[in-house]
């Protein structure tokens, strides 16, 4: 059975509404990236150096990143040799298979680590405007639907309006928000959040943090301090430190990831705003170059637009036109 056929069958057994979300969220990337690849592969009759070079350009322009692109095309060349592929039309499924290998990690790596014996604490970090607060709101909604008790801590005391924004999400979703006044010590807010979550017997505490302070050094020091408080108050916490990255910022996201990685022990990535970009190739780049799992992707602004990352759903949505075409030709 072909790779596309297998992918299609596997996705068909998954939740239809999730498949639809991935398809609509990735439609921009799919039509531009896979559209360009399709033109390249159908417009050629042999696989040569020129074709590989053009493919590299297409991948880099979709923000797959230079290093990841080079590695990917290198693997593709090897596979072409090994499987004695002659026809350029066979490259599309082969390439999607290679991308799939880059995205797939050990079983469960994409799932959140939860504390089985009490409060789970999750910290959200990232520069301003990437979608931390929105992601917290969406996740609170997700956990609430699972029947969990959730508390939010308003750790961004720096930006005007940040506390109110979290409170609005709290009201919308129906969960408690622990806050101090603007300008207060964020670590003290998180400390109170932990105490409140414990006394209310909450399952999960989601901690918002600032994306910008007077300067970057202050921001990193503040995050370290928050981290220490959490570690001290709950054994084994934080259970996750999720770095939120904005897909529309492209390769800048990788630079941010390295900077935050130096300050706190990032355990996973939330990649937001994939719906707003044709550069969804950044998912592959992040996964391959940072060696960090993408745990969630933001596919829109609504509460249920945050989805657990699923590499099969991602590939299926990206290559949907090619998959359909293969079916028609078969």
CA distances from residue 265 to 202, 205, 208, 238, 297 in whole angstroms, order as listed = 24, 18, 16, 10, 20
Measure the CA–CA gap between 83 and 143, rounded to whole angstroms: 46
Range in contact with ligand GTP (rule: CB under 6 A) among 34-42, 180-188, 258-266, 297-305? 297-305
133 near Mg ion (CB under 5 A): yes
For 37, other C-beta atoms within 10 Å of its C-beta total 23
- What is the closest distance, in whole angstroms, from the C-beta atom of residue 220 to ligand GTP in the complex? 15
Q: What is the DSSP string of 264-311?
A: S---EEEEE-GGG-S-TTHHHHHHHHH---EEEEE-SSSGGGEEE--H
- What is the closest distance, in whole angstroms, from the C-beta atom of residue 259 to ligand GTP in the complex? 15
Peptide bond into 238 cis (omega under 30): yes
- What is the closest distance, in whole angstroms, from the C-beta atom of residue 159 to ligand GTP in the complex? 5
Interface size with ligand GTP, residues (CB under 6 A): 21
- Number of alpha carbons in the 13 Å side-chain half-sphere of residue 141: 18
Among 32, 134, 307, 313, binds ligand GTP (CB under 6 A): 134
- What is the closest distance, in whole angstroms, from the C-beta atom of residue 264 to ligand GTP in the complex? 15
Nearer to ligand GTP, 76 or 219 (CB): 219
Q: Using CB atoms, what's the residue nearest to ligand GTP?
A: 298
Q: Please report where in the chains the tokens 């207060």 appear, as a residue.
A: 184
Contact 16, 49 (CB under 8 A): no
Residue 150 sits at φ, ψ, to 5 deg, of -120, 140
- What is the closest distance, in whole angstroms, from the C-beta atom of residue 247 to ligand GTP in the complex? 8
For 156, other C-beta atoms within 10 Å of its C-beta total 26
211 near ligand GTP (CB under 6 A): yes
Nearer to ligand GTP, 69 or 285 (CB): 285
Q: Please report where in the chains the tokens 């499924």 appear, as a residue.
A: 93
Nearer to ligand GTP, 273 or 295 (CB): 273
SS (H, E, C) 30-71: HHHHHHHHHHHHHCCCCCCHHHHHHHHHHHHHCCCCHHHHHH
Range in contact with ligand GTP (rule: CB under 6 A) among 129-137, 173-181, 278-286, 316-324? 129-137
Range in contact with ligand GTP (rule: CB under 6 A) among 58-66, 70-78, 181-189, 294-302? 294-302
Among 56, 301, 308, 321, binds ligand GTP (CB under 6 A): 301
Binding site residues, ligand GTP, CB under 6 A: 126, 128-134, 156, 159, 162, 211, 244, 272-273, 275-276, 298, 300-301, 305
Binding site for Mg ion (CB under 5 A): 132-133
């Amino acid at each position: 059975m072909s790779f596309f056929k297998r992918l299609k069958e596997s996705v068909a057994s998954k939740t239809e509404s999730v498949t639809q979300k991935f398809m609509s969220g990735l439609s921009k990337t799919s039509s531009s990236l896979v559209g360009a690849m399709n033109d390249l592969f159908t417009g050629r009759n042999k696989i040569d150096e020129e074709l590989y070079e053009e493919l590299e350009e297409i991948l880099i322009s979709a923000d797959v990143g230079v290093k990841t692109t080079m590695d990917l095309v290198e693997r593709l060349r090897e596979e072409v040799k090994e499987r004695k592929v002659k026809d350029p039309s066979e490259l599309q499924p082969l390439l999607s298979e290679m991308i799939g290998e880059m995205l797939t990690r050990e079983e469960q790596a994409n799932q959140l680590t939860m504390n089985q014996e009490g409060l789970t604490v999750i910290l959200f970090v990232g520069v301003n405007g990437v979608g931390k607060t929105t992601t917290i709101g969406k996740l609170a909604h997700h956990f609430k639907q699972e029947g969990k008790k959730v508390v939010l801590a308003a750790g961004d005391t720096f930006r005007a309006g940040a506390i109110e924004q979290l409170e609005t999400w709290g009201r919308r979703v129906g969960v408690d928000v622990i806050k101090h006044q603007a300008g207060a010590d964020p670590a003290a807010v998180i400390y109170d959040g932990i105490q409140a979550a414990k006394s209310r017997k909450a399952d999960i505490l989601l901690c918002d943090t600032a994306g910008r302070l007077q300067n970057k050094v202050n921001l990193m020091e503040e995050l370290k301090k928050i981290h220490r408080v959490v570690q001290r108050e709950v054994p084994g916490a934080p259970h996750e430190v999720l770095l939120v990255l904005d897909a529309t910022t492209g390769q800048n996201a990788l630079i941010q990831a390295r900077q935050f990685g130096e300050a706190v022990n990032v355990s996973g990535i939330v990649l937001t705003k994939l719906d707003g970009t044709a550069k969804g190739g950044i998912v592959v780049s992040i996964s391959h170059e940072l060696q960090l799992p993408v745990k969630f992707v933001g596919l829109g602004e609504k509460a249920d637009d945050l989805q657990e990352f699923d590499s099969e759903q991602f590939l299926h949505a990206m290559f949907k036109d090619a998959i359909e075409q293969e079916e028609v030709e078969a």
